[in-house]
Amino acid sequence: MPEPTAEDTRRAAQEGFFGHVAGLLSASAEYFKSRLQLAGLEAKEAAIHYGIVLALAIAALIVVVFGYIFLCFFAIFGIAALIGGQYAWIWVTLGMALLHFGAAVGSLLYAKKMLGDPMFSATINEFRKDQQWLTPHENVN
């Protein structure tokens, strides 16, 4: 925030009490405007971040559905194979089901890792700095 000039000080002195109150309200409005702009920027970043997390969760759900379908095929044809027949295509179906479940687990673990990233850290840090600046400090001699 820019330092007041001598002209600003003279103008405030001429305006009196209401001039000081108007200046205080103006400065407060500017302060909150700048903080809300910062929060808005971080909200956009958070929306992108959580959009990616949501997309990964949806992808994991789709992959789990495919894995379940392949696992069902394995169970159905596995029982048929126990009765008699060729076995190669059954193991391929099981491998495909395990591959899909592995991809689903990997997507969920990555999404969980992304959920651990802190959001709005710059805004929180600015509010902490403001709080420290507004806290009265005792003079130590």
State pLDDT tens for residues 64-82. Answer: 999 988 887 887 777 667 6
pLDDT of residue 84: 66
Number of Cβ atoms within 10 Å of the Cβ of 104: 20
Written as six digits, the tokens of 4 are 């007041």
- Cα separation, 59 vs 102, in Å, equals 12
- Cα separation, 120 vs 115, in Å, equals 13
- Cα separation, 59 vs 103, in Å, equals 9
Contacts of 19 (CB under 8 A, 6+ apart): 11, 12
| Domains of the chain by residue range | 37-120
| 10 confidence band (pLDDT: 50, 70, 90) | low
pTM of the model: 0.47
Q: Which residue has the higher pLDDT, 79 or 110?
A: 110
- DSSP label at residue 140: -
pLDDT of residue 56: 95
